[in-house]
Amino acid sequence: MTDQTLQVRLGEPSDLMAVDRIERASFDDPWERHLLLQELVPSSLRLPLIVEFGGEVAGYLMAWRSGPELHILNVAVDPEQRRRGLGAALLEAALAEARRGGMISVSLEVRRGNRPALEMYRAYGFEEAGLRPGYYADTGEDALILILPMKAD
Ligand SMILES: CC(C)(COP(=O)(O)OP(=O)(O)OC[C@H]1O[C@@H](n2cnc3c(N)ncnc32)[C@H](O)[C@@H]1OP(=O)(O)O)[C@@H](O)C(=O)NCCC(=O)NCCS
- The CATH number assigned to the domain with range 6-149 reads 3.40.630.30
Q: Whose CA is nearest to atom 30 of ligand 1?
A: 120
Tens digit of each residue's pLDDT (9 = 90 or more) over 27-85: 999 999 999 999 999 999 999 999 999 999 999 999 999 999 999 999 999 999 999 99
Atom of ligand 1 nearest to the CA of 89: 12
Tens digit of each residue's pLDDT (9 = 90 or more) over 69-93: 999 999 999 999 999 999 999 999 9
Tens digit of each residue's pLDDT (9 = 90 or more) over 92-121: 999 999 999 999 999 999 999 999 999 999
Please say if 136 is a catalytic residue.
no
Cα-to-centroid distance, 114 and ligand 1 (Å): 10
Cα-to-centroid distance, 121 and ligand 1 (Å): 9
Of 73, 44, 43, which is closest to residue 60 (Cα–Cα)? Answer: 73
pLDDT at 153 over 70: no
The answer to whether the Cα torsion of 66, 69, 71, 72 is positive or negative is positive
Q: What letter does residue 56 receive in the DSSP assignment?
A: E
36 neighbors 48 (Cβ within 8 angstroms): no
Which residue in 109, 124, 135, 136 is the catalytic one?
109
Report in angstroms the alpha-carbon separations of 123 from 108, 116, 119, 127, 134.
15, 11, 6, 10, 25
What are the phi and psi torsion angles at 15 (to 5°)?
A: -85, -5
Output the pTM of the full model.
0.97
Domain definitions of the chain by residue range: 6-149
